[in-house]
Amino acid sequence: MKKVNYILMLVLILSVNLVAAQDEETNRSKFSIGFTLSEQLVGKDSGENIEGTLGYAINSNMSLYLSAANATMRSDALDTNYKLDKYAIQVAYDFLKSENTKLESIAGFSFINFEKKILEDDNNGLGVDLGIQTTFNLSGRLNYGLRIVSTYSSFSPGGILNAGINFTYRI
């Protein structure tokens, strides 16, 4: 839990300091904040996932995202609910872009933490994220879209799949 508090404090400090960092050409920062609401599947288990992100536009086609997510999963096989936390660093690359819409590939690494009552011995570790997202309303500060990310990890009781809607606000 201390690790989560440190991450949240770092995001808060960075967010306050980054508001002043402006891009000279567009008078907008290269930074963004956002959240994703998605349905998450782990093997046969399912649940709702909420994810917060802090993004940085490396250039016009590539962005870097730091994210923290929490899901409440339902397991019919075990007849219980459990928590699943995920912290990730991801890179998104625009491979198809129009004036107001873009399609991006996502690749990254994540740290996954299952609740102890599900995986007692090996309940956390690293994963590899692969996915795709589409974003609309590029001309405005508030963007929205659809996002699908699959996380592969050797200790997980099944593949982890997130599919949902995302909202991003460019600072």
Question: Which of 9-13, 36-40, 124-128, 143-147 has the weakest average pLDDT?
Answer: 9-13
**Residue 159 CB partners (closer than 8 Å, separation 6+):** 41, 42, 43, 150, 151, 152
pLDDT value of position 148: 97
Banded pLDDT at 11 (limits 50, 70, 90)? low
Buried b (16+ CB within 10 A) or exposed e, 128-141: ebebebebeeeeee
Q: CA-to-CA distance for 133 and 53, rounded, in angstroms?
A: 14
Query: Is CATH 3.30.300.30 the right assignment for the domain spanning 2-170?
Result: no
Average the pLDDT over 11-32 and give the result: 56
- 94-104, pLDDT tens digit by residue? 999 998 999 99
How wide is the angle at C-alpha 146 spanned by C-alphas 39 and 11, nearest 5°?
Answer: 80
The domain locations on the chain are 2-170
> What does the pLDDT read at residue 76?
83
Nearest to 100 by CA among 150, 147, 125, 135: 135
* Residue 10 predicted with pLDDT over 80: no
**Tokens 């994703």 map to which residue?**
36
Q: What pTM does this model have? A: 0.79
Is the pLDDT assigned to residue 22 strictly greater than 50?
no
Q: How confident is the model at residue 2 (pLDDT cuts 50, 70, 90)?
A: low
Q: What's the average model confidence in pLDDT over 144-151?
A: 96
Please report which confidence band the pLDDT of residue 29 belongs to, taking 50, 70 and 90 as the band edges: confident
Planar angle of CA 150, 18, 98, nearest 5 degrees: 55
